[in-house]
Structure 1
């Protein structure tokens, strides 16, 4: 179980009344709800709060789990006041360097690992309050866009913009820390996620939060739950440190293991050779003949003659049935068919077909250039040196390719798969130019040395590697 899954489970147990024992002497939650409703009526009567629409009764089908008898279900809007922040515009006209200015609380002032907001980078002049919303120590603010639904408790007074919802007047029903954990719990976050609207940026509003259902334990039990959670969470943090160290070691081991497997394969040590296999020299002749025919038909361009391979260049010995060749001599370059599409153009197009960049699918657009499996090799980007994701991979389906990936066809798909595996097994840094903006241009790419086995042996190598890699990934 990951640390995050463990944290989620602890909170879920807490919200289901399974984390601490119930005490029959506790005042039942129904009394808390009644007091909250009485206070709300009083605030409305005194003109301190506007009367809101009556929220729908919670049905049994909405309740995701059973709770103890002395607990209660309620919609959040019936338990506290929810308001939205406001933004004075243009904000620059209201900002001030005066130490006595009003704290201007923004998303950037939060620490994702903390439940409190303790300081702000900016302040606004008092006039800004007329177009904003004042908040006070102890209030909750809830982000209503971007990382929506994340609660924070204020340890400062200030003002908030319209990217925040403010929760106040909750103390009749909730212990402050219990409310924090309730809002962080998976069943509340799930409701926020379903309720949030927007295709690009999800957004919550006051009404959607008000309609969210929550659990209310007796107040004394809330305190016991908080004490238990805050005893357990530091232990989870300790577990997380060990877990992350082990994950890092495991990932490093996996990377080294994968690299060793690839290296063994490319040196002809992963599968047995078969004397009856047609030697790679015959495959190379077929490729040369097919390539000549494609050039004659105008389907690919004739490339410059590549330099002869010297013995000093060969990084390791290969079987007699294998051949050393340069990459440019055995692949059919289709770079001329690539057409870059700007981000704005992609955003305008319907999301149908894959749009490939240097390291995989980066978007979807409504038309395509290629409709057969082809080999893509990164042309630029830091990944050429960092190798965090593959720089050589097979693109499939219907798709578009921009000018950040070289596009190659070959004599067959098996051969392309083998070449992609070979490229992933070697260090390409000596073929890459630049460090700040690494680039693998066509001229250098063509010079890469490739050890080519017989086609039947390629088939055995690819099958064996796929089996091993699946086993490593699923261990």
Structure 2
């Protein structure tokens, strides 16, 4: 692809998956390889600038700088450019941390930077402040405006990140400032763009996945492809212009995504609010007619999944059949079965739950359905305990029993990739929370509140205090576990959970509140039809997400190839 073709298709390329980010990377690569703006034979060569600088002795010589070897040169640069060590053209300074034990060194008027501040990109202010005494009694120095800063270490992606300092400030020892002694010939903005273009290369010097930091010697020995000063100005102006265009494209895409999300939500809300069959059919037709527009990215499919679950528990996903035995009869049978279990001393008689009031029912149910308190459908609702509280130790699998914690309970599925085991005596101490196959498990503490799955194993197991065990009446043709699982993962049940959670030191659900969850209960045969339909539609959602993800991945690979070819990143090292 020719460079002219690239610029002619700039906006089209931006619409590719992750397109704007790739365009930004491409712009920087073109800039530092001399391919973004034309060269001018009348420009004073970069080599002459460097000679003048060295003769003027404005940069302090250091023995830390290593001579450039030919095998280091990563790619060819245009005539008039020169490969140089960063420390040969910019002065390097770092800072320090005044003693934290001396309060007189802190909260003064001098801005003091830490590594995380570079994530601003352009630094106009910071939170850190030190006093004149803190400055005088440490190795801190005041850095001038237009210093280029690089983080030597820091959390996540911070190491190797660069920023432009637009104020005077001091810094700590996790930053190095690169200061141009001659801004007319060595433009800080060009160095900023160059280092951004080489972000991954710089991180890889100490190992991208390792936590070893950079240091001043490494920074000083970084190779810089230096253009003539006039070309530096042209590059900076061109990069600024194209980055502004990227900002505009990004903002436009964000508005487009937000508009699509609003359209999607409105269409689904109309579907959920439909009362008559004709309204529902019209709402579904609107979604079908605009399906490719509404669901063109994997992240949009999540809203469709939630709508399917909501429609399911509202009785709008499958047709009702007047010949089905109504839910009111199911409830009578469930109550009779519970009385049998009490009589046989298999469960204890529970305190009767109050009837469901009109205001507790969030929507009207179809004929044959019934609202029921969850506790009235169950023989047991309980939670486990902490092994530490009971003096029980974690052990190897062969010496213990499986122990389920909130980490193992996902939405719909158990995650037992890293199972835990506790001493067998835990079951003797906490017999009530010993699991049986087909028990429903629900997370009731912390950020994972509401994640619900079925314990589908035969292994002897127990649970901790962050997991609730819900054991429904286990008799054929009364309750369909798949339907109940869909209900627990539906938006309406999730809203019950968050409305009822107790927020003290850590958000949690009580057993009493869980037992009072109102459950929209269909006839048993309709429970089965709903569960089958939801599973079918969720499978279609899985396929749609997978197809969209593959399409995105293909688009990203194509965009990466465009970046590679246009920027010349495929050219061989000398």
Same fold (TM over 0.5): yes
User: Is residue 380–residue 404 contact of structure 1 (8 Å, CA) maintained in 2?
Assistant: yes
Aligned partners of 2:313, 2:520: CA distance in 1, in Å? 7
User: Is residue 29–residue 71 contact of structure 1 (8 Å, CA) maintained in 2?
Assistant: yes
User: Is residue 338–residue 400 contact of structure 1 (8 Å, CA) maintained in 2?
Assistant: no
**Equivalence for 2:372:** 325
**Equivalence for 1:166:** 177
Choose which of 379, 396, 420 in structure 2 pairs with 1:367. 420
Provide structure 1 residue ranges, at least 5 long, that are not aligned to the other structure. Answer: 342-352, 384-388
Count of matched residue pairs = 443
**Equivalence for 2:24:** 7
Aligned partners of 1:397, 1:161: CA distance in 2, in Å? 55
**Equivalence for 2:536:** 463
User: Is residue 7–residue 233 contact of structure 1 (8 Å, CA) maintained in 2?
Assistant: yes
Aligned partners of 1:397, 1:6: CA distance in 2, in Å? 48
**Equivalence for 1:180:** 192
SS in 1 for 2:407: strand
Counterparts of 1:394-409 in structure 2, within 5 Å, are: 394=453, 403=465, 406-408=468-470
Q: CA offset at residue 446 of structure 1?
A: 1.3
Q: CA offset at residue 162 of structure 1?
A: 1.2
Aligned partners of 2:208, 2:250: CA distance in 1, in Å? 34
SS in 2 for 1:221: helix
SS in 1 for 2:312: helix
Spell out, residue by residue over 1:36-91, the C-alpha distance to the aligned partner (whole angstroms, 9 max, x if none): 6x469x579xxx4441152673647x83x665454445554555343432223236
Choose which of 386, 402, 407 in structure 2 pairs with 1:356. 407
What is the RMSD of the two structures over their aligned residues, measured on CA atoms? 5.2
**Equivalence for 1:444:** 513
Q: Mean Cα displacement is larger for which, 269-278 or 77-86?
A: 269-278
Q: 1:80 to 1:205 in 2, by over 3 A?
A: same
User: Is residue 122–residue 166 contact of structure 2 (8 Å, CA) maintained in 1?
Assistant: no
SS in 1 for 2:186: coil
Higher helix share: 2
**Equivalence for 2:239:** 229
Aligned partners of 2:25, 2:349: CA distance in 1, in Å? 58
**Equivalence for 1:139:** 147
User: Is residue 283–residue 454 contact of structure 1 (8 Å, CA) maintained in 2?
Assistant: no
Q: 1:202 to 1:463 in 2, by over 3 A?
A: farther
User: Is residue 113–residue 126 contact of structure 2 (8 Å, CA) maintained in 1?
Assistant: no
Spell out, residue by residue over 1:408-447, the C-alpha distance to the aligned partner (whole angstroms, 9 max, x if none): 4677873564233335566427952667886532211111
SS in 2 for 1:454: helix
Spell out, residue by residue over 1:111-138, the C-alpha distance to the aligned partner (whole angstroms, 9 max, x if none): 8545244677523225744531324324
User: Is residue 197–residue 203 contact of structure 1 (8 Å, CA) maintained in 2?
Assistant: no
Q: CA offset at residue 182 of structure 1?
A: 1.9
Counterparts of 1:74-113 in structure 2, within 5 Å, are: 74=84, 76-77=86-87, 79-90=89-100, 92-95=102-105, 103-107=110-114, 110=117, 112-113=119-120
**Equivalence for 2:353:** 307
Aligned partners of 1:205, 1:371: CA distance in 2, in Å? 58
SS in 1 for 2:384: helix
SS in 2 for 1:451: strand
Provide structure 2 residue ranges, at least 5 long, that are not aligned to the other structure. Answer: 1-14, 269-302, 390-403, 423-434, 475-479, 550-574
Aligned partners of 1:219, 1:466: CA distance in 2, in Å? 60
Q: 1:88 to 1:438 in 2, by over 3 A?
A: closer
**Equivalence for 2:290:** none
User: Is residue 81–residue 169 contact of structure 1 (8 Å, CA) maintained in 2?
Assistant: yes
Matched, 1:220 2:285: no
**Equivalence for 1:152:** 163
Aligned partners of 2:349, 2:181: CA distance in 1, in Å? 74
Spell out, residue by residue over 1:95-154, the C-alpha distance to the aligned partner (whole angstroms, 9 max, x if none): 26776xxx3422399485452446775232257445313243243222222333333333
Aligned partners of 2:224, 2:91: CA distance in 1, in Å? 15
Aligned partners of 1:154, 1:400: CA distance in 2, in Å? 57
Spell out, residue by residue over 1:310-338, the C-alpha distance to the aligned partner (whole angstroms, 9 max, x if none): 58455322354x56433234465452156
User: Is residue 450–residue 494 contact of structure 2 (8 Å, CA) maintained in 1?
Assistant: no
Choose which of 304, 316, 323 in structure 2 pairs with 1:269. 316
Aligned partners of 1:124, 1:12: CA distance in 2, in Å? 41
Aligned partners of 1:358, 1:420: CA distance in 2, in Å? 13
Matched, 1:454 2:527: yes
SS in 2 for 1:134: coil
User: Is residue 96–residue 125 contact of structure 1 (8 Å, CA) maintained in 2?
Assistant: no
Q: 1:234 to 1:198 in 2, by over 3 A?
A: closer
Aligned partners of 1:418, 1:295: CA distance in 2, in Å? 32
Q: 1:405 to 1:159 in 2, by over 3 A?
A: same
Q: 1:96 to 1:263 in 2, by over 3 A?
A: closer
Counterparts of 1:280-319 in structure 2, within 5 Å, are: 304-307=350-353, 309-310=355-356, 312=358, 314=361, 315-318=363-366
SS in 1 for 2:514: helix
Aligned partners of 2:55, 2:410: CA distance in 1, in Å? 58
User: Is residue 65–residue 85 contact of structure 2 (8 Å, CA) maintained in 1?
Assistant: no
Q: 1:162 to 1:304 in 2, by over 3 A?
A: farther
User: Is residue 118–residue 149 contact of structure 2 (8 Å, CA) maintained in 1?
Assistant: no
- Scaled by the length of structure 1, what TM-score is found? 0.70
